[in-house]
Structure 1
Amino acid sequence: MTDRTIITVDGPASPAAPPRRVTGRALFFDGDTAQPVPVAIGYSDADQTLTFAHRGEGYRWPYADLRALRDQAGDQMVLRLRGDPTMRLLIDTEDDRALIRARAKRLGRFVSHVRRGKLAAWGLAAVASIALIIFVLVPVMADQLADYLPPEGEKALGDATFEQIRTALDDTGIAGLQTCENPTGLAALRKIETRLTDQMDLAAPLTVHVLDHPMINAFALPGGYVVFFRGLIEEAGTPEEIAAVFAHEIGHVVARDPTRIALRSAGSIGVLGLLLGDFAGGALVLFLAEQIIRADYTQEAEAAADTFAYNALLNADLPPSAIATLFERLTDDTHHEASAGILDHLASHPAMGDRIAAARAAEPSGATFRPLLTDTEWVALQAICD
């Protein structure tokens, strides 16, 4: 839009245009310095341009490309040229403002300085940055934080998550899903816990609960929580099967796997919640409940928990094959509606057949084991929610 030769204002005015004024006055900002420079402006109606000269260089600004900056006071007009983000002309007389308005019909049009290609690139970069935070940095930070989280902080996280899960699973929406408190049933469960942990050096005592829900499942939470659903205890065929599941979940507690998955899930959904405007945390509660119950650990974490369980069971004089027996029965019992919970849960774990084979292989050939509960205690455990 710039002609680098001195401009001579000439050419007759169009008969339809307002009376031609050969020169006017304006202040020119060249975009390189902050100092305004007075210039003489002219109206070349023959080629429809506003003309002026500065430092020996001539400028032609087509009327069609003149834009007035918005939100200016009524006694001034600041012009810019479409396509040039820096140069400005300050028109300070009403006569010149009127002449320009009569000629430049597009003064009020909006002009964007941002090219669409650059805008798209910035948008993609922003999305990539968010994805990096959610799917890479947050998980890495969660894994590191889990190793340094003090026991009292981990226990507080477990307490809060347990209450969130109780609330999320309560269909009544009143007081949260109930825990099972039958005294003789609790005594039997504590007997299993004692048998398993007598030979363990745990960093903190376990907190064990049974939730009154038909889902066939169990899970661990941060801070030493091991939680069973009523459906799993009712479905088990022997107390040794409960002990095998118990030992597996203790393995997750010792490795602090629940803390990692809780921090990772909360961190990711926290970022997403801010982006989606979910400041109340509702999505966080539901997401944490689903992630913890499904216990979608890595296959390495699951294999490590299995190995821990085999050793814990043998040290407690209990059969590792009990977990294989439970898996086989649940797999065959596909007509049982409540089995869907643990079958979905196990679908994300290492291959079921491999786990069953590994559990049986962990048991010494011809080994015999000491009984875990009496018949009366086993009946009491299965009625823990009555």
Structure 2
Amino acid sequence: MSRGFDGFGSAYFDGDRPVGEEVSLHLANHNLQIGLDDGNTLFWPVKDIRLLPDLAGKKGYVLRLATDPLARLYLTDRSLLTFLPTPRGKIPARGRRRLLAWAVAAVVAVALQIAVLVPLLADRLAAFIPPSGERALGAATLDQIRRVLDDTGLDPLSYCENPAGVAALTRMTNALNQGKDRLENLSVHVLDHPMANGFALPGGYVVLFRGLIDQAESPDQIAAVLAHEMGHVWTRDPTRHALRSAGSIGVLGLVFGDFAGGAAVLFLTERLISARYSQQAETDADTLGYTRLGAANVSPAVMGDMFDLLRDTAGDTNQLLAHFLSHPTLSQRIDAARAAVDASRSYTPILDDTSWAALQKICD
């Protein structure tokens, strides 16, 4: 079969120059013959010709050669399409299977990076961060959290700094932060926000929200949350979690494009506020919390009491419960807290009534 086609308005681009040249087209012996201005002829096997999406406008279309990644042929005579084996640029079945296999492999690779490689590297890297660097990371993260949680968009979320309330919080912190597990750079802050939550950040920062203090029935329940978060600080869980979250954002950015703007800040903030640590990390933090409560002569059972209170008043979706809700189950952890009580001891409240009243007004 031999057939000529209208080459008027058609152009060949060799991929080396941005300028195309007009061509003549002829189909013969299963080859598309492309006549160039210099008298040379290119032979494109019909079986290797592929149709590209229309990049040049509705009046024309673009062809490429499967064996040449650069050359392009722009045409206006659409009758040629009827002689091509894949006129719509369809991918052969074998190609579709190969493409699907590559897509699955890519998804698996990303999942392995986020679930295995990033946590492994984060755990290794955390050991090499100096205290000053860890402190700077915590301070920067706390500043970002204050900005993200501000409803006005004008100023960072305020610290609660009523002098009497701060003094009461300091007494509570000092009572819990003693003995061989004392944290040298511990900084405890209360933010003026209705969220009933508390969390730890790298570098010794522990943050409580006003909503947590408003919901607590006793200072011992606040002490229980504070003691648990201090346990996370001692084991450097927040540093590893921050590095894992940042690494995950980096991987997602490579996959989905620029992920370094406001969405990344919101994602990282949410991950740090509602951090869910591993079973072992939660168990260790609970155990260290019991020790700190015991050193302050506070019953470890108050940790279970606080969980019970939040579950009864806000249900299982409470943000603080979501923060603590990990393996082992919440009921198991409540039982463990009550089992840690020393029946031979006589426990006392961590704050007197005057100090507790002052702490409740720390945001006034």
Deviations 1:5-59 (A, max 9, x none): xxxxxxxxx9x989xxxxxxxxxxxxxxxxxxxxxxxxxxxxxxx9xxxxxxxxx
Q: Any residues of structure 2 matched to 1:151-170 within 5 Å, and which?
A: 151-170=131-150
Change (3 A) 1:270 1:383: same
Which stretch shifts more, 339-348 or 292-301? 339-348
The equivalent residue for 1:67 is: 32
C-alpha distance in 2, partners of 1:315/1:132? Answer: 43
2:345 partner amino acid: A
Q: Is the 8 A contact 2:196 2:209 kept in 1?
A: yes
Q: Is the 8 A contact 1:196 1:312 kept in 2?
A: yes
Deviations 1:208-241 (A, max 9, x none): 1101111111100111110001111122222222
Q: Is the 8 A contact 2:249 2:259 kept in 1?
A: no
Are residues 1:241 and 2:221 paired?
yes
1:359 partner amino acid: A
The equivalent residue for 2:40 is: 76
Change (3 A) 1:117 1:368: same
Number of matched residues?
312
Deviations 1:316-339 (A, max 9, x none): 22211121222222222238x9x8
Q: Report the identity percentage.
A: 49
Q: Any residues of structure 2 matched to 1:96-115 within 5 Å, and which?
A: 115=95
Change (3 A) 1:110 1:232: closer
The equivalent residue for 2:351 is: 373
The equivalent residue for 2:115 is: 135
The equivalent residue for 1:364 is: 342
Q: Root-mean-square deviation (CA), in Å?
A: 3.3
Name stretches of at least 5 consecutive residues in structure 2 with no aligned partner: 5-25, 49-65, 69-79
Choose 1 or 2 for highest CA Rg.
Answer: 1
Q: Any residues of structure 2 matched to 1:169-184 within 5 Å, and which?
A: 169-184=149-164
Q: Any residues of structure 2 matched to 1:331-370 within 5 Å, and which?
A: 331-334=311-314, 340-348=318-326, 350-370=328-348
Alpha-carbon shift at residue 285 of structure 1 (Å): 1.0
TM-score by length of 2: 0.76
Which stretch shifts more, 143-152 or 184-193? 143-152
The equivalent residue for 1:222 is: 202
Q: Is the 8 A contact 1:154 1:259 kept in 2?
A: yes
Which stretch shifts more, 146-155 or 225-234? 146-155
Equivalent position SS for 1:333: helix
Q: Is the 8 A contact 1:221 1:292 kept in 2?
A: yes
C-alpha distance in 2, partners of 1:280/1:183? Answer: 39
Deviations 1:176-232 (A, max 9, x none): 211111111111111111111121444641121101111111100111110001111
C-alpha distance in 1, partners of 2:186/2:83? Answer: 79
TM-score by length of 1: 0.72
C-alpha distance in 1, partners of 2:3/2:219? Answer: 101
Are residues 1:314 and 2:278 paired?
no
Alpha-carbon shift at residue 352 of structure 1 (Å): 2.1
Change (3 A) 1:17 1:372: closer
2:322 partner amino acid: D
